[in-house]
Each structure stands twice: as C-alpha cells, then as structure tokens.
Amino acid sequence: MPAFRLERDGMANLAVGVDLGGSHVLATLVDGDGKIVEREGHDIVDHAPDVVIATVEDAINGVLLGAKDNATAGIGVGSPGNIDVATGAVRYSPNFGWHDVPLGERLRERFKLPVFVANDARCATLAEYTHGTGRGTSNFVLLTLGTGIGGGIVAEGTLILGSLGGAGEVGHHQVRATDGFICACGKIGCFEAQASGTGLIRHAIAVAPSFPRSNLVSGKPEKLGSKPIRKAAEAGDRHGLAAWNRYLDDLARGIANIIAFVNPEMIALGGGVASAGDFMLSGLGPRVDELTTMVPRGRTKLVVAALGNDAGAIGAATMARRGGLTTAG
Ligand SMILES: [Zn+2]
C-alpha cells in the first residue's frame, strides 16, 4: 500500500473512479477537471461477490500506485443495480445476481479512504452534467442507448435519487402499450424495449418480412448488433431506414414524455446508437417537437453525450471528490 498525504498539492483533487460492469471493471484516477490520468481495467469472469470485490480491489490498487504520494480524495464506484448510497451496499443487482453485498464497507476497510457507491447510470449523469455536455445547465437528462436505456435526471441543479435511490430509471415507462416488444421487466413496449440499441435490432427484425431480399438481419438474433442497422440506414438501405424510422418514432415518444415530466434544458444521448450523431439528431428533433405539447417546442436541446464509455468512471470519481452524489461543489 502506498502512503497518502492528505494536504493539498498540485494533484490533490485526484479521486479514484470505478466503473463496475457485468464483464469488466475499469478503475481510473481522475483529476479535478474530470480528466482521467490513470486507468486500469480487469475482466470479470465470476460473479461471486468475493471474486468481484477482489478484482475491483486489484484495479483500484493499480491506479493508486499511479497516484504515487499525491493525496487522493476518496474512491467512487458506479455499479449496476439499486444501491444504498448511505452505506455503499448493493441492495440488488440483476447483472450480478447480488442481494445486499456490502461493497462500500469492504473497500473502506481495505483502503482506509472515504468510499461512495452509486448506480452506474447516475454516475454517468453526474459526469456529463459536471464535465461533459451538461456543463452550465441546471436541468439536464442523460439517456444512454445501449443494451438497455440507462439514464439520470438533474433537476434544478440536483441529481434526483428518489426515496430508495431508484429515480432516473427512465427505461421503463411505456411508449407502446399495445403493439410493443416485451421488455426484460415483463411489461410491453417500455422505452427501453423500443428505443435501446437492442430495440433498434428488434425493429429491424420486425420489419424484415417487408424486405425479403435484405440480409440485414439474416444472422442469429443474439449475434446481431445495432451498428450494422444504423450504418445501413445512414447509407440509405431501405430495410435499415424502415427500422431506423420506427426506432426514431419510439425514441421520440419517450423523449417527449421526459420533456413533459422534467422540462430539461438539455437531453444528452449516449451509447452506441448515439454515434449516429447528426443523422440521429436531425431525424429526432422534428419528431420530438411534434409530440411536445405542454411546454414550448424546440426549447430542449438534444445533443450527443461527450464522455462516451468513460462517463461512469469519471462520475464515480466526481462523486468521491464531492463526498456524495447530491452535494454541490
Ligand atoms: Zn420495462
């Protein structure tokens, strides 16, 4: 264990940010501007709590060695699932099959540093709000369009956590209650089922019978990615465009609902699908406007998120530096 000086110096704003995913853990050392100065990744092959925590500890150790004798404010961890932010325990994580794992306590014992744990999507939201596209706003929403839809809501400068830490789970409001896809949560037509990267694949499969000569979705469904469909749409492929347009319709429905709930200044879109950039935003904006009824149209900026896959780790470090998710500063 290296020694840690607590007095402030040139790099005293350093904090450790960890993004704990289902198959990979990324530990980083992040400076006060949100810049990653060290990173160490490890694959996770076994979901037993002791094994995962040992892997997290190894990764943290690696970046702490990079801190040398610079003071480190603390350790932040973004984890999937529902987290008790007061103790850092993972109450429930479907990705790991965990119930009540005292992750924060274990890391505190090991590293003798302040440790904060929060949901990974909330951490990514804090990062985009503080160091990414959301800088300067006070009402901000992040939507990460990946396998599911992760996200978070900042209202009046505060990241909303809700009474049990579950606020911001924007993926599970229904946007197609009767003719939608079945969601992992059991409901029909959730925003996540229709408008995640997986949703784009499902739209492409759903419209495939109209394009008998297309081989866009000819492989096994579980092997399909959303990227070839997005690329086909960008290239003007008829099958790809049909899926893409249905996808944008459903994405716009969900975004219009969020605008009605939250009236944000900005909604940032991250995840693989958002790599389409202007191609996505130009199709999305008019659809969202058409469905926006209770607040002035065209006043919510739709943008592509800035921090990419690093957002979770940067946000976790930001949380550690601030001493929690909701503390301003
Ligand atoms: Zn759902």
Give the strands of the sheet with 89-93, arranged side by side: 82-84, 89-93, 98-101
Among 1.10.3720.10, 3.30.420.40, 2.40.160.20, 3.40.640.10, name the CATH number for the domain at 136-305.
Answer: 3.30.420.40
Average pLDDT of the residues in 231-245: 97
Under the banding of pLDDT at 50, 70 and 90, the label for residue 12 is low
pLDDT digits (tens, 9 = 90+) for 26-46: 999 999 999 999 999 999 999
Domain assignments of the chain as residue spans, ordered by start: 15-126+310-322, 136-305
- Does residue 157 register a pLDDT over 80? yes
Distance 270 CA to ligand 1 centre (A): 19
**Which protein residues have a CB closer than 5 Å to ligand 1 (ion)?**
172, 183, 185, 187, 190
- Does residue 223 register a pLDDT over 90? no
Would you say domain 15-126+310-322 falls under CATH 3.30.420.40? Answer: yes
Instruction: Give the pLDDT score at 168.
Output: 87
- Does residue 294 register a pLDDT over 90? no
- What's the 3-state SS for 142-180? EEEECCCEEEEEEECCEECCCCCCCCCCHHHCECCCCCC
Q: Do domains 15-126+310-322 and 136-305 have the same CATH topology?
A: yes
Under the banding of pLDDT at 50, 70 and 90, the label for residue 211 is very high
Distance 102 CA to ligand 1 centre (A): 27
What is the percentage of the chain residues whose pLDDT exceeds 70? 95
Instruction: Give the pLDDT score at 328.
Output: 55
pLDDT digits (tens, 9 = 90+) for 54-74: 999 999 999 999 887 778 899
Average pLDDT of the residues in 319-324: 92
Backbone angles phi, psi at 326, to 5 degrees: -105, -5
Average pLDDT of the residues in 146-173: 89
Q: What is the average pLDDT score of the chain?
A: 91
Instruction: Give the pLDDT score at 8.
Output: 36
Contact 14, 314 (CB under 8 A): no
pTM: 0.90
Distance 132 CA to ligand 1 centre (A): 28
Helices and strands per DSSP (H, E), number in the chain = 9, 13
- Does residue 11 register a pLDDT over 70? no
Per-position DSSP letters for 8-61, written without gaps between them: --TTTT-EEEEEE-SSEEEEEEE-TTS-EEEEEEEE-----HHHHHHHHHHHHH
Instruction: Give the pLDDT score at 187.
Output: 93
Distance 194 CA to ligand 1 centre (A): 10
Distance 189 CA to ligand 1 centre (A): 7
